[in-house]
A and B are shown apart, each in its own frame.
Chain A
Amino acid sequence: MAPDTGSALSIRDLTVEFDTPAGVVRAADGVSYDVAAGETLGVVGETGSGKSVTALAALGLLSAGNVRRVTGQALLGGTDLLALPPAELRAVLGRDVAMIFQDPGTALNPVQRVGDQIAEALRVHDRALTAPAARARTVELLDEVGVPNPAGRYDAYPHQFSGGMCQRAVIAMAMANRPRVLIADEPTTALDVSVQAQILDVLRRAARETGAATVLITHDLGVVAETADRLCVMYGGRVVESGTVYDVFARPRHPYTAALLASLPRLDVRADRLTPIPGRPPDLIEAVPGCPFAPRCPVGHDRARCAQERPEPVVTGAGLSACHYPDEAGPPPRAAGPGRDAAAAAAGAADGGAGVQGMTPSRHGEPEKSGPRPDGSRAPDPDGRSAAGSGAAAPRGAPPDGGVALDVRDARKLFPVRTGVFARTSGYVHAVDGVSMRIPAGRTLGLVGESGCGKSTLARMLLRLVQPSGGELTVAGHDLVRANRGELRRIRQRVQMVYQDPFASLNPRLSVGDNVAEPLRLAGGFSRPQRRTRVLDLFDRVGLRPEHTDRYPAEFSGGQRQRVAIARALALRPRLLLLDEPVSALDVSVQAQVLNLLADLQHESGMAYLFVSHDLSVVRQVADEVAVMYLGRIVEAGPAERIYGNPRHPYTRALLDSVPAPDPAGRGTRRRAPLGGDVPSPADPPSGCRFRTRCPFAEERCAAEEPVLRDVDGGLTACHFAETLRGAAARAAGPVRDEVHS
């Protein structure tokens, strides 16, 4: 591969190694890619795939003390950045190459005015620029990235900006010197979906305006499908596939890409089961002679070549694929049929005809478990499981005799806002403001909303980890609000919670077995051997190896830790499981494993789930009913089909439109950023309809009169125009929703 004169940035055979106590980690292993001017290259990969490390190393920004070596080339228009002396490299950074980081909150200096920071970026590289000229140019830049009232906002500090506004300012700073290359490292991961859509739009404009080559590093296939021209998939520190977005999404040439696409939950259709990638990402310490994906690969069939010979990227079709058998990579999920099932069946067929649950992990030597029933292929098993759950194993969909697991009426939570020397209460934040919901046993309610809408507060209220300010909360038949200490302890044993971050929710000083046994110990009445037996049974149910009970959480990967957390939650056979973003900290391939496990467990035991998530595609996959929250209120609720197929609230529709679809086909016609602005402060919510400040249909009536949540077309919607919005919905619907309507 000779350096292409047309490319703005060429990474050539870049290898990065770190020294760690466990050995040498090769985080990037001979990575090569090119970006041409005006082009957007999406670099996709899971945690630890080396996608960020490659970019940081190319710019000489890796400063960790344990970097062992960085070799290869990073050619910026012919000059090798890695060979430049530090002073010259500094001159290039910020002028020719600019970087946008994941967390806008920490990318700006909190004690310096936002405008001054951008002006400084300008003046560092252009000494001749006068202060007033820099200011004028900065205001211009802020305007370009869509900061309202840019002249006034120049003097604001970062904390006065919302997350989305901060990211706009960071983009303005990156654009300031019209760089030739723009590197964005997970630029929207920390943002809400409606803001993400806005920021992606700004990025696109910035790239067009400056004519820069853009490298967009992300784990989100939807973002790539929506934004990138070309795409480069990384796995285990190597590039496994690259090509144009259209080609790769339509016909993946590497089994990893195919499996990744197949494991994504989709917004438009609910699949019976997701198709997870078995096992876990490779250990970068052990050098594998063959293909790093071989142990998880559905195509390899344990062929000797895959284990022994390292596949190099070769031209196949329109792109590059580092697979020995690129033509067997499995048909793409979309081309296989309208729904997920066909794709899943096809993937299963590629695996040797094991059916939909073809990912029998033990066959591929999956490291994390080898139990008789790996989660991918588990069917409810009546023997030995009859004791599970409160009710008998109930078929999904039919509420069993277990009755109502959760009944919430008009729940409220106010947090006082204290100001002044004497900390007097000057107002209240209405975190949850009159929410009612019901979950029958064996069913799942998906609670959706952007950050700050009160969904997590609501979930914590249901364990009284947050004291409710008002309303009636009935959990598994017990009154939660008036429960005394003893009753509360009993209720807490009937309701269990699975937390978002499996790295934080397990006690690091207890072995995983003891972690799972905690609820049993606290409940009392179990002898040590009884607890042990129960723990082993639970480990089996969630697909963990029983011999691992004595290990500590630090030894497990994120997906495995979440299984431990789920086992702990199941220990007392709760009636209701509160799932607070249970998969948002996990990689896509592992996420599918956990979602399938949750579905199996519900099927076996008839538990009710409250599934809190910001991810609409995940909720689509798991929920029977969906409630959409905005600023402490439920704005729309109903069966999942009604919410996703026929949303009547403008907010629900905007959210659905904001989700980037992992399919580049037809992206040109899609409405990209349907919602402007940010969520208003819950301390001072707008009068009338709370959504009116961002609503495209708002009228005077919306400011004066608060819409009530009422029956509309089989669901509940709180909008004055819910009945008349149907026609508009059809007009605004993109290709994603067309499939639903047809």
Chain B
Amino acid sequence: MTDAALAKTPAGPPAGAPRFAAARRFARSRSALVGAAGLLLLVLLALLAPWAAPFDPNEQGADNLLGPSATHLLGTDELGRDIASRVIHGTRASLLVGFGAAALGALVGVPLGLVAGYVGRWADAVAMRLTDLLLAVPGILLALVIIAVLGPGRLNLVLAIGIGAVPEFARLTRAATLSIRERDFVVASRGMGAPAADTMVRTVLPNVLGPILVQLVVTASLAVVVESGLSLLGLGTPPPAPSWGGMLQEARSYLHQSPWYGVFPGLCLAFTVFCLDRVGRGLQRAFGTAVAGGAREGTI
């Protein structure tokens, strides 16, 4: 390492462990913290929906299409249900499908990519052709087909969007694995007599986790949008359960009578995607150096 390169890294021992170093880098970015706080709020809202919402979301207790008032903060919909309560309950559907789909994609894609990248040869060929197959079909079309076959429903939504996310995770994990599989510490693990599965899980996986975490958040934000899109087409969360996409679709029909109907579901959707995006970028920055050069951090 040249002196110039050295000067860029701290000359003293950095104060914390790498995983905490990434957390610190994340925390240094204000926009990432704002995103994380917003996300936390949404999750709390989803968990506490029955208590946070003023009315039962499916209770048809008021007049149709009322404007915002003291009792109905956001007014009522075409069946006299409280829009504010429906928006709050709709958070559940969006977050569940968003994170569920991302988790499913990661759960299938990461092991696939890990094996493809580490074992190589035939395993790589099989796994990659499989992902090519999935990549060849546009994600939304794939989701439409799956919903058409399995029928609508939350679980099926997660499945439909999650399967579409598998190739991304597989390719990302494979690329990251390839980039470190010949590094000395991976070779050293093999040299110590570690079985391949052990090396993959204990040595390779923790070192490729950074980009996977970023992808997880990016996928979640995409899935939230796709869920709304499918609901808009009537293929999302089945009525009468509230979902933002479904509400938007209904609001479309009453655009002239009550223009405020669709405003809040839309804003919530935008806010969720914004928060996820902030967090995703924050993670990317935090891990950007940790993945490529984290091992070299420090001094000689």
Contact = CB atoms under 8 A, between A and B. Distances in A.
B298 A64 contact: no
A284 B10 CA distance: 9
Contacts of A50: 3
Interface in B71-97: none
Contacts of A490: 193
A185 B298 CA distance: 23
B136 interface: no
Contacts of A497: 188, 191
A21 B10 contact: yes
B7 to A, nearest CB: 4
Interface residues of A, number: 67
Interface string A20-34: 111101010000000
Interface of B: 1-4, 6-19, 21, 183-185, 187-195, 198, 203, 206-207, 294-300
Contacts of B14: 21-22, 554-555
A62 B5 CA distance: 10
A488 B193 contact: yes
A285 interface: yes
Contacts of B191: 463, 465, 492, 496-497
Nearest to A498: B188
A69 to B, nearest CB: 13
A281 B185 CA distance: 26
Contacts of B203: 507
Most buried by A among B21, B184, B194, B300: B300
B185 A505 contact: yes
Contacts of B17: 511, 551-552, 554-555
Nearest to B24: A21
A501 B184 contact: yes
19 contacts: A16-B7, A22-B15, A27-B7, A48-B3, A64-B7, A286-B12, A465-B190, A503-B300, A505-B184, A505-B185, A507-B207, A509-B18, A522-B198, A554-B18, A554-B294, A554-B297, A555-B13, A555-B17, A586-B300
Given A507-B203, A522-B194, A64 B1 contact: no
Contacts of B12: 22-23, 283, 285-286
B187 to A, nearest CB: 6
Nearest to A511: B17
A518 B295 contact: no
Interface stretch (A51-59, A139-147, A601-609): A51-59
Interface in A543-582: 551-558, 565, 568
Contact of B298 (A51, A500, A557): A557
A18 interface: yes
A501 B185 CA distance: 10
A569 B18 CA distance: 23
Contacts of B8: 18, 20, 64, 66
Nearest to A587: B300
A383 to B, nearest CB: 29
A466 to B, nearest CB: 10
Most buried by A among B3, B8, B188, B298: B3
Contacts of B192: 492-493, 496, 518-519, 522, 568
A49 B297 contact: no
Contacts of B298: 503, 553-557
A47 B3 contact: yes
Contact of B11 (A285, A493, A519): A285
